[in-house]
Amino acid sequence: MIPLPRLPSRRILAALLMLLAPCLALAAAAPLDRILVVVNDGVILQSELDDAMASAREQISQRGLGAPPEAVLRQQVLERLIQQRVQTQRAQQAGIRIDDRELNEVLTQIAKQNGLSLSGFAETVRKNGMDYLAVREQIRDEVTIQRLRSKEVDSHVVVTDQDVEGFLKSEGGSGNSEYRLSDILIAVPDGANQSQRDQLRKKTEALIKRARAGEDFAQLAIANSNGQQALQGGDLDWRKGSDLPVAFAQAAARLKKGEVSDIIETGSGYHILKLADSRGGEQRKTVTETHARHILIQSNAIRDDEQSRLFARDLYSRLQAGEDFNKLAKEFSDDPGSKNSGGDLGFQPPGVFVPEFQARLDELKPGEISQPFHTQFGWHVAGVIERRERDVTDDQRRARARTAIGNRKAGEEYDVWLRRLRNEAYVEFRLPEDAAAAASAQNS
């Protein structure tokens, strides 16, 4: 098998793309007038809350929703600032740093995806009345938190073959269906006793009645949900059934458009779902696989690139004269992965080989042998033995299932991890009304 080049990978939070959107329009920097909350060895300032409140109002407005009471919005926003602060502090303890070079790469990518240069991005931020330096630091925090989550949560998620089998059995043929759901989460604190759980369950049941009676679900989410999408009205956007938590996917499959679910209990607490719409379904897919073979000639201490080219040319001539491909590959090929099998690469779908190699294979008919050509690995003489059409629907379903299970487990673990991190943090509210609101939220 030809070794594939290892390309650098970078996972960027999808939420980062929203940082350019108006819904995250941070207000111009305000004077740092007072400390509102002490979080471990850090603080949250009045100016930070003011900026975040302005951003939250803009998000809500962009979605065409009515703003909740100021006290409710303040409580939601302040809690999210606390969660962000404890995560960035944890990242610092773990030695995670996003330097200016890496930050500029992320900013350049965001700018490019919005049709802007980095300087154009900065200018757009300023024209919209935002503090560009504050936006930079917000994005740095988001990337830092994603890196922390990858290290402390995602990297510990294990998906077994049994998980995949159980997933495929439970989803039936609906894994490729897509749902647009909204979610209200009433979080259950770690260590909550039965009385507290019963009280939170009653609150959830009351919200279900209100939603089914016609109250706006988005407004209920903004005012009551402890979920990450609360300020978006609980909107989870379009997601494949396979990408949803199992309980969500099963509930979504039973709901009709506009219906509100019964209580869905997870490790995070009690959820209420509303199905806005659904679409799609399972489709069969086939690919053309190529059974190929090759001889690889590489430069070495006694043979430079030109000599390697001439040697490959000589082998091509010998093959054209009728010599056995299998024998020549075993004797002369420098590819350790295929040498002993006579250069046989087996059946492979498109995209497995590097582009230059794939392009040459695509030009050949079964039984043909290419003239020598060069890739990053050296000089090749390649041949196509045969091609076949193969139904890869089941393979893709399994791969999709493995990814979906990993995402689900990571999401669930992240919620538990973040709640534990928040509970272990030292949080001191400097204003009595904020302390009272936080206590009320914990006990309601």
One-letter-per-residue 3-state SS of the chain: CCCCCCCCCCCCCHHHHHHCCHHHCCCCCCCCCCEEEEECCEEEEHHHHHHHHHHHHHHHHHCCCCCCCHHHHHHHHHHHHHHHHHHHHHHHHCCCCCCHHHHHHHHHHHHHHCCCCHHHHHHHHHHCCCCHHHHHHHHHHHHHHHHHHHHHCHHHCCCCHHHHHHHHHHHCCCCCCEEEEEEEEEECCCCCCHHHHHHHHHHHHHHHHHHHCCCCHHHHHHHHCCCCCHHHCCEEEEEEHHHCCHHHHHHHHHCCCCCECCCEEECCEEEEEEEEEEECCCCCCEEEEEEEEEEEECCECCECHHHHHHHHHHHHHHHHCCCCHHHHHHHHCCCCCCHHHCCEEEEECCCCCCHHHHHHHHHCCCCCECCCEEECCEEEEEEEEEEEEEECHHHHHHHHHHHHHHHHHHHHHHHHHHHHHHHHCCEEECCHHHHHHHHHHHHC
Q: How confident is the model at residue 16 (pLDDT cuts 50, 70, 90)?
A: very low
Domain boundary among 152, 180, 215: 152
Domain boundary among 124, 152, 180: 152
Residue 3 counted as domain residue: no
pLDDT at residue 392 is higher than 50: yes
Q: Greater confidence, 151 or 397?
A: 151
Please indicate, yes or no, whether residues 277 and 416 belong to a single structural domain of this protein: yes
Please indicate, yes or no, whether residues 345 and 261 belong to a single structural domain of this protein: no
* Percent of the chain predicted with pLDDT > 70: 89
The C-alpha angle 387, 392, 397, rounded to 5 degrees, equals 165
Domain boundary among 89, 120, 152: 152
Please indicate, yes or no, whether residues 364 and 275 belong to a single structural domain of this protein: no
Q: How confident is the model at residue 338 (pLDDT cuts 50, 70, 90)?
A: very high
What pLDDT is attached to residue 148? 95
CA dist., res. 321 & res. 249, Å (int): 61
What pLDDT is attached to residue 242? 76
What pLDDT is attached to residue 157? 92
Mean of pLDDT over the chain: 86
Residue 165 counted as domain residue: no
What pLDDT is attached to residue 68? 85
**pLDDT one-digit tens code per residue, 216-255:** 999 999 999 998 889 899 999 998 887 888 788 888 888 9
Residue 160 counted as domain residue: no
Residue 135 counted as domain residue: yes
- Kindly state the average pLDDT of the residues 90-100: 93
pLDDT at residue 20 is higher than 60: no
Please indicate, yes or no, whether residues 373 and 401 belong to a single structural domain of this protein: no
Domain carrying residue 371: 287-391
Please indicate, yes or no, whether residues 414 and 361 belong to a single structural domain of this protein: no
Length of the chain: 444
Q: Greater confidence, 442 or 246?
A: 246
Does residue 237 contact residue 221 with C-beta atoms inside 8 Å? no
Q: How many domains does the chain have?
A: 3
pLDDT at residue 4 is higher than 60: no
Please indicate, yes or no, whether residues 273 and 323 belong to a single structural domain of this protein: no
Q: Tokens 């033995």 map to which residue?
A: 385
Residue 188 counted as domain residue: yes
Please indicate, yes or no, whether residues 277 and 307 belong to a single structural domain of this protein: no
Please indicate, yes or no, whether residues 114 and 18 belong to a single structural domain of this protein: yes
Residue 437 counted as domain residue: yes
Q: How confident is the model at residue 211 (pLDDT cuts 50, 70, 90)?
A: very high
Residue 299 counted as domain residue: yes
Residue 163 counted as domain residue: no
- Kindly state the average pLDDT of the residues 327-341: 96
What pLDDT is attached to residue 102? 92
What pLDDT is attached to residue 281? 63
- Kindly state the average pLDDT of the residues 184-189: 92
Please indicate, yes or no, whether residues 279 and 294 belong to a single structural domain of this protein: no
Tally the C-alpha atoms within 13 A of residue 109's C-alpha that lie toward its C-beta. 16
Please indicate, yes or no, whether residues 423 and 435 belong to a single structural domain of this protein: yes
What pLDDT is attached to residue 63? 83
Beta bridge partners of 180: 238, 277
The CATH code of the domain that includes 413 is 3.10.50.40
Beta bridge partners of 183: 273
Please indicate, yes or no, whether residues 262 and 406 belong to a single structural domain of this protein: yes
Please indicate, yes or no, whether residues 146 and 252 belong to a single structural domain of this protein: no
